[in-house]
Amino acid sequence: MCRMAHGAALVVLLALGPGSLILSLPAKTEEPPAAPAPKTQEPPELRLPPDLVYEGGAEGGGAVIFRHTTHAALAGNNCLECHPQLFKILHSERKTSHDEMGAGKACGACHDGKKAFGVTDTDSCQNCHTGVPAPAKPGEGASSAAPRAGPKDVRLAQSEGSPGTVTFRHSSHGGATAKCARCHPALFPMQASGKPLDYAAMLQGATCGTCHNGKEAFGVDDSDHCERCHAAEGATP
């Protein structure tokens, strides 16, 4: 009986023909094309203002060159980090003091020794007091600062028995790489007093004698180098 049923089914399949068998198969479905990956949009390039010059005040140190390029990068191009709460945008005063900054105002809001080097960190003076900005080149929106030469020359009063006046030049005592804390405020106050220096104290390692000891630099008692510091009126040592 089973053989008969199997044979009948075979006869039916043969009678239907190969075309019918093909029609009975399910149609093959094609997968839809993959969606293109979303394009990442580049953040717009900021058109930053040129460098700002804050002239040196009574505290000394020379002019401060503020660069938007440096500070915008550190702030993630978020101008609201400083504007308008800390600094006005269109009418910047360009005046502040170390007392204000030490109280957390102006630059001191970030330069507190934690978020950035502190305004009272004497080893970092040259990071801000960089001198005078160089003129911008054609096609450049912002100027770059010239190498720091240090504050202006200091004319020291002539003491009794001195062979001539002394002009102290920051540029020849380290210039752009000088560490202000090497001499200030332990050896010299930040503001020149105008008083003559004590030569006897120098011989004991005070003031200029700290470095001019015959080892680190020529000694203050080296008669072969007097003209390096002392000059006649109108002459350049």
Quick: pLDDT tens for 83-113: 998 998 887 677 888 889 999 999 999 999 8
Which of helix, strand or coil describes residue 36?
A: coil
Clarify whether residues 160 and 105 are in a common domain: no
pLDDT given at position 42? 63
- From the list 48, 47, 62, the residue with the least C-alpha distance to 133 is 62
Q: Which residues contact 188 (CB under 8 A, 6 or more apart)?
A: 207
Full residue range of the structural domain in which residue 63 is found: 52-128
Q: Check whether 213 has a pLDDT greater than 90.
A: yes
Which residues are paired to 165 by β-bridges?
231
Q: What is the CATH number of the domain that holds 197?
A: 3.90.10.10
**Is 140 inside any structural domain?**
no
**Is 6 inside any structural domain?**
no
Question: In total, how many domains does the chain have?
Answer: 2
pLDDT digits (tens, 9 = 90+) for 36-88: 766 666 666 778 888 888 876 656 667 888 888 888 877 888 899 999 989 98
pTM above 0.75, yes or no: no
